[in-house]
Structure 1
Amino acid sequence: MKRPGPLLTLLAGLLLAVFMLSLNATTGVRNASSSRPRTPGTAPPASATPGKSTSPPSPSPSASPSASPVPNADYAGRTDDDSSAVAVSLRDGRAIAYFCDGHDKESWLKGDVRDDGTLRLTGKNGAGLDGTLRDGRRIRGTVEFGGRHYAFTADKAVKPSGLYRATATVRGAELDGGWIVLPGGRQVGILDRDGEPSAAPVIDPETGAVTVDGQKLTARPVTP
């Protein structure tokens, strides 16, 4: 048997060399890909959660200030010309007022009070009262009566100041009395006997007691 010659040995060596070169080339490409540095800031963004908006929440509108509530209170005062007195009682958005000069002029008026403190009250024979509540402490306004206008200021009243009324039948006569007790204790009132007005007798503002034609009556605070 003949031994392989030098040519066969050389061929085997070449094949081995080609194989090793191919293996090194493949490994180098793979290592280069895995070791390539990642550029900072190129990380893929996180995916948004389905169904959720990424918009910032809209600011809620600020609540509008509410109007100050109209107090339940009584007010009493004089007209600017000092000829008459005015008293107003406010309860739950309703108002009743009394205007009188203590002799023969008087009017009962009523109506609503608006949330802004303005009031427009009406009475018999075209009488009216326009006023504005100021800071809950006083009412400034005008009374229209008998074709004239009487400007007035009525301050918040503290008991026993305020508005009082008494009705009764005495000796067959229908009596209707109205009283305004002013701050300081002064009283202005009219007593009607069957529709005939005259100055009212003085009442006890602590109890409302009053004597008319020998009969004791009780004048009570007036509220709407």
Structure 2
Amino acid sequence: MKRLGPWLTLAVVAVLGLILLTVNMSKESTPTAAQTTATTAATTTAATTTAATPTSAAPAPFPANADYVGTITPATGGALTLEITVEGEKAIAYLCDGASIESWLRGSAVNGRLQLTGKNDATLDGASSGPGVGGRITVAGKQWDFTAAPVTPPAGLYIYTDNGARQSWIVNSAGAVTGVQRAADGATSPAPALAPDATALVGGKKITANKVSGGDDVG
């Protein structure tokens, strides 16, 4: 019986060692209350930061001088061409179908935003969008959303007036021309063809059209 003593002692020591090891492993794998609170706070802070990130930026200011041309395709009827010309803080827009419909609008171009008005309650509200502009135009009670891309001369808006009659043309970036002629009595019809050098035959006479800028008193 005396020879069993050391073996019994070793067995007791081994069992105690296993118990202590299990307790330590349990403490390491179970997060403390402080750890749980810190993790929750970090997650909440991250979510708050993400929600506070702005989702849109203010429109960029317009260049000192710029022209934009776009096409509007109504659900019914033919396509409409829109030209917007900006000079400083002023802007002019001209909308026409190349046959009989036309509308002139004038107003401000401040902080990248357009606010223009015209006859018969016509309005245009827009803003710079990337290199171009976008917004909504209302003419004769009809509304259309629009986008217009920047163009460089000879593209742009041209006009010629004589004896109360007016010819107006929009030239796009590809050189295509859309225009309307308004007679002295207010009757409208397609404008005469405009050549690349901005000349046209009006009433049998060769004329040179004038390029419109945002500060001009036209329309």
Alignment match of 2:116 (pick from 117, 121, 135): 121
Query: SS of the residue aligned with 2:120?
Result: helix
**SS of 1:141's equivalent?**
strand
1:216 alignment partner AA: K
* 1:184-210: CA deviation from partner (whole Å, max 9, x where unpaired): 11111100111110000111233x211
How far has the Cα of 1:69 moved from its partner? 3.8
Q: 1:187 aligns with which of 177, 182, 185?
A: 177
Look up the SS of the partner of 1:125 in the other structure.
helix
Q: For residue 204 of structure 1, what is the aligned residue in structure 2?
A: 195
Alpha-carbon distance in structure 2 between the residues aligned to 1:215 and 1:106: 24
Asked whether the equivalents of residues 71 and 82 of structure 2 are also in contact (C-alpha less than 8 Å), the reply is yes
Q: Give the TM-score taking structure 2 as reference length.
A: 0.65
SS of corresponding position for 1:113 = strand
- Which of 80, 95, 100 lines up with 1:99 in the alignment? 95
2:70 equivalent to 1:70: no
The letter of the residue matching 1:70 is F
Kindly tell me: are residues 68 and 178 of structure 1, through their superposed partners in 2, closer, same or farther at Cα, counting changes over 3 Å? same
Q: Does 1:85 align with 2:81?
A: yes
1:177 corresponds in structure 2 to: 167
Q: Deviation digits for residues 85-116 of structure 1, max 9, x if unmatched?
A: 0000101111011011111111111101121x
Conserved? CA contact 1:78–1:86, under 8 Å: yes
Q: CA RMSD in A?
A: 1.7
1:217/1:148 CA distance change after superposition, 3 Å = same
- Structure 2 counterparts to residues 138-157 of structure 1, below 5 A: 138-157=132-151
Q: Which amino acid aligns with 2:66?
A: A
Regions of 4+ moved over 4 Å: none
Distance in 2 (alpha carbons) for counterparts of 1:157 and 1:218: 21
1:163 and 1:178 mapped to 2: Cα distance? 8
Unaligned runs of 5+ in 1: 1-65
1:132 equivalent among 107, 124, 127 = 127
The share of aligned pairs that are identical, in percent, is 37
Gaps of 5+ in 2: 1-57
Deviation by residue 1:112-162 (Cα, 9 ceiling, x = unmatched) = 1121x1111000111111111113x21112211111012221100121111
Kindly provide the CA deviation profile for residues 46-71 of structure 1, in whole angstroms up to 9, marking residues without a partner as x. xxxxxxxxxxxxxxxxxxxx985420
Q: Which amino acid in the other structure matches residue 150 of structure 1?
A: W
Partners of 2:86 and 2:201 in 1: how far apart? 28
With the length of structure 1 as denominator, give the TM-score of the two structures. Answer: 0.64
Q: Distance in 2 between matches of 1:111 and 1:145?
A: 15
* Contact 2:59–2:113 (8 Å) recurs in 1: no
Equivalent position to 1:163, from 157, 165, 179: 157
Aligned length, in residue pairs: 152
* Contact 2:199 2:208 survives alignment (8 Å): yes
2 CA distance for matches of 1:67 and 1:153?
14
Contact 1:141 1:151 in 2 (8 A): yes
Query: Aligned equivalents of 1:187 and 1:91: distance in 2?
Result: 22
Query: What corresponds to 1:3 in structure 2?
Result: none
